[in-house]
Structure 1
Amino acid sequence: MEILFEFQENVLRPVKNDFRRYLHNQINWKQRMIGIKGPRGAGKTTLMLQYLKFDLGLPPKALYITADHTWFYNHTLLDTANDWYKQGGKILFIDEVHKYENWSVELKNIYDGLPEMQVVFSASSALDIYRGEADLSRRVVSYLLAGLSFREYLAFTQGVSFDAFKIEDINSNHRSLSRMITEGFRPLPAFRKYLEVGYLPIIVEGEDTYLMKLNQVINTIVDIDLAYIVSYNSGTAVKVKKLLGVIAESVPFKPNIAALARKLDLSRDSVYQYIYQLQDARLLNTLSSEGKGVSTLQKPDKIFLENTNLAFALKEKPDIGNIRETFVLNQLLNAGLKVNSPAEGDFAISGLTIEVGGKGKNTSQVKHLDNYLIAADDIEIGAGNKVPIWLFGFLY
């Protein structure tokens, strides 16, 4: 196993501890089996390596491996865990587990057969950990790592740190929160940059190449991740990319499934299936009215790109109104809030209606409602029910 030990040393060496994702402190690291899902580039690998290097302090009983290592050309995951256990190993970190064919069966065998072994693994957000060939529902505790919030982007790129707020804080105290943040900092220029190139930590590699790399991420998700997980072939991948392109042209998209099926030469069921697979892969978000069931054959009321950066990667000049709505929905969902499509306004969260717009957005559409907010762009501090839209980027 020397090759694995050497690999671990090489990947740990450059890992720094100057910025940690929000999820780090939410994970119960004492669980026997932990799954960390999330979109490509969100920082799952770094999160695990930071915990191994700085929290555990490089213990001799912890080993980091990646499921696409050449080691697995002629070794199984179960055999590797067994060999590591015999050498005194207690913790096994497995990166990109979805790239290992029998991942669920062998994880179950490790859990059942090595009761003193803790396993922490990462996987594509498109992977349904609980529906593999083996039942892991009683064994694994799963967490989702989203892309950077606006709050995290500021800490990551500018060293400006603030605590996260709850939606109730924004609803009741947004003026004080905005004043506190803007005392020595002008958020609007950074917010513009975040909307375009700030959602994934790859921003640290340079703004000029960010959108090019994001396009590569999109292609990798469809061509490789979904190919592993739902057996896409090259022809299917092309059709899925066309569907994504059609949606990107007109988000927020009110889907006409029959028209999409004709345009892409697909069955209606295939269109539904691909939409929800792209949602699982964190390339789309869907929005339905309250009480409406969610299934792969249920038409959502609206379809959004998962984050605003995708709009700039897939379309030369995306509509600013669409960008605003995409941002608010993205931050609400990533904060773990249940969001529905209301009869009036843009978004509904357990009795609170949110209407999204520009600086001059008025309350005519929602003022008769009991509990509402206007998420307004291009303002630093709000008044009454009008809240700066960027403040929703502090929810996680």
Structure 2
Amino acid sequence: MLNEIRELQQLLLAKNKTTYKRYFFQTIDFDRLTGIIGARGVGKTTFLLQYLKAHQLPMSKKLYLSADSIAISSLFDVAKAFAKEGGELFIIDEIHKFSGFENELKKIYDFLELDVVFSGSSALKIDNSKADLSRRAIIYEVEGLSFREFIELKTHTTLPTFTLEEIITSHTDIAYTLLEKIDTNLFDEYLEFGYYPFYFDKKSKYKLKLNETINTVIEVDIPSIFNIEYKNIVILKKLIKYLCASSPFTPNITELLQKMHLGSDYRSLYRYLEYLHKAKIITLIRPKTKGDNIFTKPEKIYLNNTNLYHAYCQDAKRGTIREIFFQSMLKVHHTLALPKKGDFLVDEKYIFEVGGRNKGFKQIKDMPNSFVVADDIEIGSGNKIPLWLFGFLY
């Protein structure tokens, strides 16, 4: 069994030629049980293979297993056999594909002297698992490419990141510095193609691959994690299409129930929206006072990133694209809510109004800590900040 796993591991290592390291490579503090979760296609497998290669242990003490690559009855049995051979680092990819993985990980953690790193869908229900992994595992959630990372991959340059506070206070100077190194004409390419790293594998097939990836999330990943019947998967797809027609969508729950033919079953509707949110296909902006209660009506619903919007929505509206980009960059390190005035309340402190180059301050006039985020400008001034600059937050 271990020999077969090692053979597959070697094939993957030989195939993986990627040297670029994502924003999270140096930020993860590995412990005895470390989980990496994120949307399908954002580079989790590449990261795990890079980590396997870079780890100072000799290869004989490291093992990579994709949970769906070979037929095994027990992850614990594999781990035990590996530990008996002197293994120290066990990496398990796509762990959500293995039924009962929670108890398997608990047994490995409790009975074996192994460091375990695992990856899974962003929808993975760690906190609610019966094995209580939340007390044992440290979980890191990773996102798709930022605009900065896209430029680095595209142009083979190295660029800095900036905090939100740095952008707010010094955006003019930062923009001048960056414009000496980058071409902001790449921004439109990023909005349509740049969120998922596999764009750089075969650019002409990107949208086809993206649609295949999302279909796999809806048809395979979500049913494997949540209790949803296969016949209801069509509702998830209908929700995405419906959101396209209205995005950025301020939901009318009664109308949504009618469109999805759910009668008065609003709890199922909220669950389906939550499944898509957890799987990083949509983003729900909830009232800041209601927290993460899934049965609270979201105030706005976006597709998760601009590439999904371009791929799914035939009539791509620039105003919607701007808001989707802004929320996709900010949500990585910040909390978002809908303010009474403006488009986004960030960290319960800053108010942002997102628009085009001529966007003014009328909606947020006299509001403290308020800013206009403007598309189609390279350099801003005062409280007017270029939209593209928020692509350098990570």
After TM superposition, the score normalised by the length of structure 1 is 0.96
2:39 — aligned with what? 39
Deviation, 1:60, is 1.4
Q: Structure 1 residues 78, 184: closer, same or farther in 2, change over 3 A? A: closer
One-letter amino acid of the counterpart of residue 224, structure 2: Y
2:130 — aligned with what? 133
Where does the alignment leave 5 or more consecutive residues of structure 2 unmatched?
none
Deviation, 1:208, is 2.1
Residue among 362, 365, 385 paired with 1:364: 362
CA RMSD of aligned residues (A): 1.2
Deviation, 1:70, is 2.0
1:13 partner SS: helix
Distance 2:286 2:108 in 1: 39
1:172 — aligned with what? 169
Instruction: Select between 272-281 and 241-250 the one with higher mean Cα deviation.
Output: 241-250
1:202 — aligned with what? 198
Is the 1:16–1:50 contact (alpha carbons within 8 Å) kept by the matching residues of 2?
A: no
- Within a 5 Å distance, the mapping from 1:10-89 to structure 2 comes to 10-16=11-17, 18-29=19-30, 31-56=31-56, 58-72=58-72, 75-89=73-87
Deviation, 1:53, is 0.6
Q: Does 1:340 align with 2:332?
A: no
Q: Does 1:249 align with 2:245?
A: yes
Is the 2:18–2:46 contact (alpha carbons within 8 Å) kept by the matching residues of 1?
A: no
2:127 partner SS: helix
One-letter amino acid of the counterpart of residue 62, structure 1: K
Is the 1:52–1:58 contact (alpha carbons within 8 Å) kept by the matching residues of 2?
A: no
Distance 2:244 2:124 in 1: 23
Q: Per-residue CA shift, 1:132-166, capped at 9, x if unaligned?
A: 23111111000011001101111112213211111
Deviation, 1:17, is 5.3
2:93 — aligned with what? 95
Q: Per-residue CA shift, 1:30-80, capped at 9, x if unaligned?
A: x000000000110001111101112336531010001002232xx311111
Distance 1:20 1:156 in 2: 10
Distance 2:58 2:215 in 1: 35
Deviation, 1:14, is 2.9
Distance 2:98 2:152 in 1: 35
Distance 2:179 2:317 in 1: 27
Residue among 360, 372, 375 paired with 1:374: 372
Percent of residue pairs identical? 40
One-letter amino acid of the counterpart of residue 242, structure 2: V
Q: Structure 1 residues 10, 113: closer, same or farther in 2, change over 3 A? A: same
One-letter amino acid of the counterpart of residue 133, structure 1: K
- Within a 5 Å distance, the mapping from 1:236-315 to structure 2 comes to 236-266=232-262, 267-315=265-313
Distance 1:21 1:391 in 2: 19
One-letter amino acid of the counterpart of residue 339, structure 2: P
After TM superposition, the score normalised by the length of structure 2 is 0.96
Q: Per-residue CA shift, 1:284-316, capped at 9, x if unaligned?
A: 111123323321210011111110111111112
Deviation, 1:174, is 0.0
One-letter amino acid of the counterpart of residue 159, structure 1: H
2:392 — aligned with what? 394
2:390 partner SS: helix
Q: Does 1:122 align with 2:119?
A: yes
Deviation, 1:272, is 0.6
Q: Structure 1 residues 250, 240: closer, same or farther in 2, change over 3 A? A: same
Is the 1:126–1:226 contact (alpha carbons within 8 Å) kept by the matching residues of 2?
A: yes
Is the 1:353–1:371 contact (alpha carbons within 8 Å) kept by the matching residues of 2?
A: yes
Is the 1:17–1:54 contact (alpha carbons within 8 Å) kept by the matching residues of 2?
A: no
Deviation, 1:186, is 2.0
